[in-house]
Amino acid sequence: MYLKRYTTASFLLIVIVGWYVYAFVTQDSYAVNLFGVQLPSISIAILITVPLLILYIASLLHMAFYSLLNGLGHRKYDKDYEKFIDSIVDAYLGKQKRSHVYKTDRYKLLGAVIDNSNLMAGVGLKPDTSNEKINKILEIIEELKNGNVVDLKKYSLAYSNQLTIINLRNMYKNGELSAENILNASDKYTKDLLEEVYVDFVKESPFYAIEKYKENLSKEALYIILSRINADENTLEIINDELISLFSQLELDGDDYIAISRAVSLNMIPEQRMKLFESLSENSEEIIGAYLYTLFDLEMLAPADELLNNTSEDEFLNFKSYRALKECGKNFSIDLFV
Asked whether residue 12 carries a pLDDT value surpassing 70, the answer given is yes
Query: Is the pLDDT higher at 74 or at 284?
Result: 284
Whether the predicted pLDDT of 308 surpasses 70: yes
Determine contact, residues 4/31, Cβ cutoff 8 Å: no
Where residue 72 falls among pLDDT bands split at 50, 70, 90? Answer: low
pLDDT (0 to 100) of residue 68:
67
Dihedrals phi, psi of 213, to nearest 5 degrees? -115, 30
Nearest residue to 15 (alpha-carbon basis) of 61, 46, 42: 46
Of 22-36, 177-191, 295-309, the least confident: 22-36
Helices (H), 94-118: 105-115
Predicted pLDDT at 69: 67
What percent of the chain stands above pLDDT 70? 93
| Residue, of 47 and 258, whose pLDDT is higher | 258
pLDDT at position 127: 62
With beta carbons less than 8 A apart as the criterion, state whether 226 and 263 touch: yes
Q: Where are the beta strands (DSSP E) in 35-163?
A: 37-43
The alpha carbons of the chain give a radius of gyration, in whole angstroms, of 43
